[in-house]
Amino acid sequence: DTGVSQDPRHKITKRGQNVTFRCDPISEHNRLYWYRQTLGQGPEFLTYFQNEAQLEKSRLLSDRFSAERPKGSFSTLEIQRTEQGDSAMYLCASSPPSGSETQYFGPGTRLLVL
Protein backbone atom coordinates (compact mmCIF):
# COMPACT_ATOMS: atom_id res chain seq x y z
CA ASP A 1 0.00 0.00 0.00
CA THR A 2 1.49 3.33 -1.00
CA GLY A 3 -0.94 5.63 0.80
CA VAL A 4 -0.11 8.25 3.41
CA SER A 5 1.20 6.67 6.58
CA GLN A 6 1.37 8.12 10.07
CA ASP A 7 3.11 7.01 13.22
CA PRO A 8 2.17 6.43 15.94
CA ARG A 9 -1.50 5.72 15.46
CA HIS A 10 -2.26 6.39 19.12
CA LYS A 11 -0.44 8.37 21.76
CA ILE A 12 -1.32 8.86 25.41
CA THR A 13 0.77 11.38 27.30
CA LYS A 14 0.70 13.39 30.47
CA ARG A 15 0.16 17.13 30.48
CA GLY A 16 3.41 18.97 30.07
CA GLN A 17 5.18 16.27 28.08
CA ASN A 18 6.43 16.71 24.53
CA VAL A 19 5.18 14.50 21.71
CA THR A 20 6.27 14.04 18.11
CA PHE A 21 4.30 12.58 15.24
CA ARG A 22 5.57 11.43 11.88
CA CYS A 23 3.92 11.48 8.46
CA ASP A 24 5.11 9.77 5.28
CA PRO A 25 3.23 11.11 2.25
CA ILE A 26 2.37 9.23 -0.91
CA SER A 27 5.56 8.89 -2.90
CA GLU A 28 6.05 11.68 -5.47
CA HIS A 29 3.59 13.92 -3.62
CA ASN A 30 5.53 17.08 -2.93
CA ARG A 31 2.74 18.83 -1.03
CA LEU A 32 2.02 17.90 2.57
CA TYR A 33 -0.55 19.19 5.05
CA TRP A 34 -1.27 18.79 8.75
CA TYR A 35 -4.79 19.08 10.14
CA ARG A 36 -6.32 18.64 13.58
CA GLN A 37 -9.76 17.19 14.17
CA THR A 38 -11.74 17.15 17.39
CA LEU A 39 -14.92 15.22 18.05
CA GLY A 40 -17.90 16.49 16.07
CA GLN A 41 -15.82 18.89 14.00
CA GLY A 42 -14.31 18.80 10.56
CA PRO A 43 -10.53 18.82 10.16
CA GLU A 44 -8.88 22.19 10.82
CA PHE A 45 -5.80 23.20 8.87
CA LEU A 46 -2.56 23.57 10.77
CA THR A 47 0.28 23.89 8.28
CA TYR A 48 1.42 23.23 4.71
CA PHE A 49 4.71 22.18 3.13
CA GLN A 50 5.70 22.29 -0.50
CA ASN A 51 8.80 20.13 -0.75
CA GLU A 52 10.84 21.14 2.30
CA ALA A 53 9.47 24.67 2.56
CA GLN A 54 6.79 25.45 5.13
CA LEU A 55 4.65 27.89 3.15
CA GLU A 56 1.68 28.39 5.42
CA LYS A 57 0.84 28.14 9.10
CA SER A 58 -2.58 28.56 10.68
CA ARG A 59 -3.10 30.82 13.67
CA LEU A 60 -4.13 27.57 15.38
CA LEU A 61 -0.49 26.59 15.33
CA SER A 62 0.69 28.10 18.60
CA ASP A 63 4.34 28.47 19.47
CA ARG A 64 4.17 25.09 21.23
CA PHE A 65 3.69 23.44 17.85
CA SER A 66 6.45 23.00 15.32
CA ALA A 67 6.53 21.10 12.07
CA GLU A 68 9.39 20.14 9.82
CA ARG A 69 9.95 18.43 6.52
CA PRO A 70 13.73 18.48 6.30
CA LYS A 71 14.30 16.61 3.06
CA GLY A 72 10.99 17.16 1.40
CA SER A 73 9.85 13.63 2.12
CA PHE A 74 8.49 12.73 5.56
CA SER A 75 7.31 15.36 8.01
CA THR A 76 7.20 15.61 11.78
CA LEU A 77 4.83 17.55 14.01
CA GLU A 78 6.00 18.25 17.54
CA ILE A 79 3.88 19.55 20.38
CA GLN A 80 5.77 20.86 23.37
CA ARG A 81 4.35 21.13 26.89
CA THR A 82 1.14 19.38 25.91
CA GLU A 83 -2.17 20.57 27.32
CA GLN A 84 -5.44 18.70 27.68
CA GLY A 85 -6.87 20.87 24.90
CA ASP A 86 -4.36 19.34 22.51
CA SER A 87 -6.24 16.04 22.66
CA ALA A 88 -7.42 15.42 19.11
CA MET A 89 -6.82 13.42 15.96
CA TYR A 90 -3.84 14.78 14.03
CA LEU A 91 -4.21 14.14 10.34
CA CYS A 92 -1.62 14.35 7.62
CA ALA A 93 -2.54 14.68 3.96
CA SER A 94 -0.59 14.92 0.72
CA SER A 95 -1.18 16.13 -2.81
CA PRO A 96 0.65 15.56 -6.10
CA PRO A 97 2.65 18.34 -7.78
CA SER A 98 -0.10 19.04 -10.32
CA GLY A 99 -2.65 21.83 -9.95
CA SER A 100 -5.30 19.63 -8.32
CA GLU A 101 -6.12 20.57 -4.74
CA THR A 102 -7.20 17.02 -3.98
CA GLN A 103 -5.74 15.94 -0.67
CA TYR A 104 -5.35 12.34 0.44
CA PHE A 105 -5.39 11.69 4.15
CA GLY A 106 -3.40 9.30 6.25
CA PRO A 107 -4.91 7.21 9.08
CA GLY A 108 -4.23 9.90 11.67
CA THR A 109 -2.60 9.95 15.09
CA ARG A 110 -5.01 10.09 17.99
CA LEU A 111 -3.54 12.03 20.90
CA LEU A 112 -4.91 11.89 24.43
CA VAL A 113 -3.39 14.24 26.99
CA LEU A 114 -4.14 13.27 30.57
Partner 1 sequence: QKEVEQNSGPLSVPEGAIASLNCTYSDRGSQSFFWYRQYSGKSPELIMSIYSNGDKEDGRFTAQLNKASQYVSLLIRDSQPSDSATYLCAGWTFRSGYALNFGKGTSLLVTP
Q: Which residues of 89-113 are buried (b: 16+ CB within 10 A; e: fewer)?
A: bbbbbbbeeeeeeebebbebbebeb
Q: At its nearest, how many Å lie between partner 1 and the CB of residue 89? A: 8
How is 63-101 classified by DSSP, letter by letter? TTEEEE-TTSS-EEEEE-S--GGG-EEEEEEEE-SSS--
Task: Please say which residue, 31 or 69, places its beta carbon nearer to partner 1.
Answer: 31
Task: Please say which residue, 57 or 80, places its beta carbon nearer to partner 1.
Answer: 57
Q: At its nearest, how many Å lie between partner 1 and the CB of residue 10? A: 11
Q: At its nearest, how many Å lie between partner 1 and the CB of residue 65? A: 15
Task: Please say which residue, 1 or 101, places its beta carbon nearer to partner 1.
Answer: 101
Q: Which residues of 37-55 are buried (b: 16+ CB within 10 A; e: fewer)?
A: beeeeebebbbbbeeeebe
Task: Please say which residue, 80 or 105, places its beta carbon nearer to partner 1.
Answer: 105
Q: At its nearest, how many Å lie between partner 1 and the CB of residue 81? A: 25
Binding region for partner 1 (CB under 8 A): 31, 33, 40-45, 48, 50, 55-56, 58, 89, 91, 100-108, 110
